[in-house]
Structure 1
Amino acid sequence: MLATTLKTPMEILTDISVNFKRKRLELRLTQEGLSKRSGVSYGSIKRFESTSKISLESLLNIALALRLLDAFDGLGKFETNVSNQSLDNILKQAPKKKQRGTIK
């Protein structure tokens, strides 16, 4: 069943980066240590934790180093009849973000 509240890709990436940082600290790894363990550059890890921007390959390498790769295992598999609703109908039901007024 699809959730009626959809997150943006950036919101999801932010959640992932926060959770990965939490796991890194739980494992008592520095950013440099994670870089060595994952093969991802220190700069990429630092940027990911501060801006949530990263390539998919680097994300998966970090996930492997943090023992979180299994969470990504089913992402490419999709069910064909998840719901009778179309994506357009689901998006119409999602709460709309408030817009600021404009002066004309």
Structure 2
Amino acid sequence: MSLITVRKAQDKLAQHLRSQRLAKGLTQAGLAERSGVSLATLRKFEQKGAISLESFLQLAMALGLLDKLVEAAEPSESDFSSIDDVLREDRPTRRKRGWRT
């Protein structure tokens, strides 16, 4: 279960791509031209976080971030190979009551 909402995730992604654009000294028009994403779509994304996955990936590629995004989406290695492994894991038991004083 995630503690971040979809809206917050969209905002964070938009802010991050905007900061990367600015760090590279690109205008919105310049990034739109390099990525093949329309200027209106880029503006909407930076303001509201709304964009198609394809356009988002085109922007990421133009900023040199596509490899990092794909790498971040890969599943991390787990010590568990099944639900049985998870259930068998030795976990310390927690007290069900508070400490006595």
Common fold by TM > 0.5:
yes
Residue in structure 1 matched with residue 38 of structure 2 by the alignment: 41
Which structure has the larger Rg over C-alpha atoms?
A: 2
The structure with the largest helix share of the pair is 2
Amino acid at match of 2:36: G
- Between stretches 46-55 and 4-13, larger displacement belongs to 4-13
Deviation of residue 9 (structure 1)? Answer: 1.4
Query: Which 4+ residue blocks in structure 1 deviate beyond 2 angstroms?
Result: 76-85
Amino acid at match of 1:42: L
Deviation of residue 30 (structure 1)? Answer: 0.5
Gap runs ≥5 in structure 2: 88-101
Deviation of residue 76 (structure 1)? Answer: 5.5
Residues 27-56 of structure 1: per-residue CA shift (max 9 Å, x gap): 110000001100000000000000000000
The CA RMSD over aligned residues, in Å, is: 2.5
Gap runs ≥5 in structure 1: 86-104
Give percent identity, aligned residues only.
35
Residue in structure 1 matched with residue 17 of structure 2 by the alignment: 20
> In the alignment, is residue 52 of structure 1 matched against residue 60 of structure 2?
no
Aligned to 1:20, the other structure's residue is in SS state helix
Amino acid at match of 2:63: L
Deviation of residue 10 (structure 1)? Answer: 1.3
Query: What TM-score, normalized by structure 2, do the two folds share?
Result: 0.70
Aligned to 2:33, the other structure's residue is in SS state helix
Residue in structure 1 matched with residue 68 of structure 2 by the alignment: 71
Distance in 2 between residues matched to 1:53 and 1:79, nearest whole Å? 31
Deviation of residue 71 (structure 1)? Answer: 2.3
> In the alignment, is residue 29 of structure 1 matched against residue 26 of structure 2?
yes
Report how many residues are paired: 82
